[in-house]
Structure formats: structure tokens, C-alpha cells
Amino acid sequence: MRLPPAIITYTEEVLREILRFTGPADGTLSRYFREHPKLGSRERGVIAEGVYGLLRNKAVYTSFAESGNGPTMRRITLLGLADAVGVDALGGLSEEETEWLSRVMLIDRSMLPAALRSNLPPWLFERLVARDGEAETLQLAEALNQPAPLDLRVNAIKATREDVMAALATAPILCEATPYSLLGIRIVKKPALQNLPLFKNGSIEVQDEGSQLLAQIVGAKRGEMVVDFCAGAGGKTLALGAAMRNTGRLYAFDVSEKRLAKLKPRLARSGLSNVHPVQIAHENDTKIKRLAGKIDRVLVDAPCSGLGTLRRNPDVKWRQTPQSLLELNVKQSAILAGAARLVKPGGRLVYATCSLLDEENEAIVAQFVAAHEEFMLVPMKDVLAEQKIALEMGDYLKLSPHKHQTDGFFAAVLERKK
């Protein structure tokens, strides 16, 4: 069935706005759909897929758009849509456009230059190649360019993984157990979860397996005092609260009232009563000072470039720059130092990012350890063994989509000496 020609116009219009890169693509898309309530769910789905197809393959499609006739923006839009639904499904194409699109879609992309094929900005491609070599970088880039699967975390205070998988099978929803997280389930096709009783009663939450592992390596136990220092919308907070079996005290700190507001409905569903959301002004807020030296475990999921999440947010690679990274590094060091004050002797601090770059990861940790001799690095292989997570790692946790089928994550565990 052919799509109405207006789909091309709508897609081009929203793409123009997204390609200014003034904010996240998903937010711009949501607002656009609110402003155009006549668009049905199928049309919205096609527009979103076309936009994300273009963002993933922007380098290649910009190059392809140099051939053909007519406005460049329309050609780029057509490439994104053809990627999503195929050339034959597009209504309103001229004969010339149909022929051009069909020809371009047959190009063997494996023959393109590596830098172009990676669909990464040149500065990022060069950094990754310098560190990992071209072959490894291309494998990573290809994995980052695939849409992410849908992972769920079972809320251990309400259900077991076996029970949830059995209930999903009757829905019927195809799923499998994740290889590393003991509470993870990977969904094969993406269903509407919001209507499932399992979702409504808080037995499951959407959470990438890598993010679940970050919460696990914190090792939060019953009755402890724990802080999620950059809680955001609270995915890891909820995982920590369940690991603590709803005992002790878990503080969810964040500077954004809006992000903490998103935690409230999730918290209500989860059945957790040990979580205390707290809005802070910055990493030196007096609310933090009151808890100095009293906390058993602190998780710092630091603000970062987000380059490990390109499967979900492909626009991020085009929005970040070497300059924005330097600004993030300053913030990351300050937040880590601020959070460290909370940790009591013998307590643990986990520094994590969803970045793939050393300057946001190992470099920040090395700088911190050099300036804080009261802390020592706990090798990740020991932490993984403690938590019975079947992963081979050295000093740090480094997850990547081409090796672990998760988002790109980094974590280091630091312990305050007694």
C-alpha cells in the first residue's frame, strides 16, 4: 500500500528542524506530532523511522544526495524514507526520483571509504581508529547504527524472571533471557508494553541490559544507605531499590525537577517505599553536605556525551563536538569529587558513563585517584565475581554493542580506605 505524498512533505519539514541540532531529535519529533494531531499512528511511525534512518546514515546519504536533481533536502528526506519503507511504498515521486532512488539503494556500501561508511563525524571516527584500529571501529560503528532491541528488567520484589517470561509467552510476546543480567529479558519484536498487566503492576521496567549491570555492580544490600547521585528519570534508582529489598534508605539526587517528576509514576508502580527523590542545585549543595561520610554506596552515572547510546539516539553523534567534550570533562570531575564526600570509610563509589571515549572514562578516574589517595580502585573482575556476573573484564567495565549487544557503557568501582 502506497503512502500519501504528504508524508514526504511532513518528514522534510520535521527533518529541517532536527538537522539544526538545537535539541534532542526525540523531543523535536514528539512536539511536531503534538502540533500535527491529524497524523495517524502509522504515519507517525513512518516519519519517525525515516528521520532515524537518515540520522543513522547521515554521512552516506548526504554523499548520495549530491547526485540526482531537485532540492538537496528533499533528496535526503527521500533516502531516509526509502531506508524505512522501501522505494515502492512512497507516493508522490516523479519518474526521475523513482529511478534515482532505486539506483542509489543498490549501491554496495561495503565499497565506500571507511570514514564515510562508519557514518560517524570525522573527529569521532579518527579518535576511535587511533585507539582501536579501523576494522574494530567499523564493527563498532555498524553495531551503533542498528536500532537497539527492547530490554526489560524484572522487579525482583514483585516477580521472578521465569514467571514474567511465562506471562509474556501467553501474551504472546517472543522474548529471551539476557546473557549477563540475571533480571533481564530481551523482547524480539517491540510490542505496546503500557497495556500489559505486568507493566501496570510494576513487575517490569524498560531498561537496557548494560544499565541493569551498572546497578548490579553497585552491590547495594539490605538496610544500607545508598545514593544515586545523578538519578535522572530513575531507571537505575528503581533497580537499586529492588536490590535493597525495599529496606534501608536510597536517595535519588538530580538537578532537574523535570527528570525527577518522571520518576514519580515509575516509583508508584514499583512498590518501593525506600526511595527518597531529592532535587539538588549542584554537586556542592548543602543537602549533600549533611550526608557527608555516612553513605555505604554511591552511584555516579555522570552527565556525558552519550556516544554509547547511538542505537537509540543517533542524533547525538552529530550534536557533540570536541569542544562540548572538554566542557563535559570539567563537569564530570567536579561531580565525581562532590559525590566522593558522601562515602563512608569502607564504602564504595561507582563512576559510570554511557560514553565510549577514554577522556570521559579512564582519564576522569585516573585523575580522581591521583587527587584522592583515600580512595583505591577495585578491579572490575573482582566486582563481577562478587555479583556472579559472567563477564570477562580487567580493571573497568567496558560494554559495547558489537561485543555485548548492550549500549556502550563504562564503569569503575572506587573504595574509600578504612
Enumerate the active-site residues. Answer: 354
Please give the single-letter amino acid code of residue 80. Answer: G
Compute how many other C-beta atoms are within 10 angstroms of the C-beta atom of residue 400.
21
- Helices and strands of the chain, counted as H and E runs: 20, 12
Q: How many CA atoms lie within 13 A of 300 on its CB side?
A: 28
- The answer to whether 274 and 239 have CB atoms below 8 angstroms apart is no
Q: Which conformational region is residue 202 in: left (phi greater than 0), alpha (psi within -120 to 50 degrees), or beta? A: left
Is residue 303 helix, strand or coil? coil
Please give the single-letter amino acid code of residue 118. Answer: S
- d(Cα 271, Cα 269) in Å, to the nearest integer? 6
Q: How many CA atoms lie within 13 A of 262 on its CB side?
A: 10
Work out the widest C-alpha separation in the chain, in whole angstroms: 75
- The answer to whether 334 and 255 have CB atoms below 8 angstroms apart is no
In order, the DSSP letters of 48-79 are: HHHHHHHHHTHHHHHHHTTSSSS-HHHHHHHH
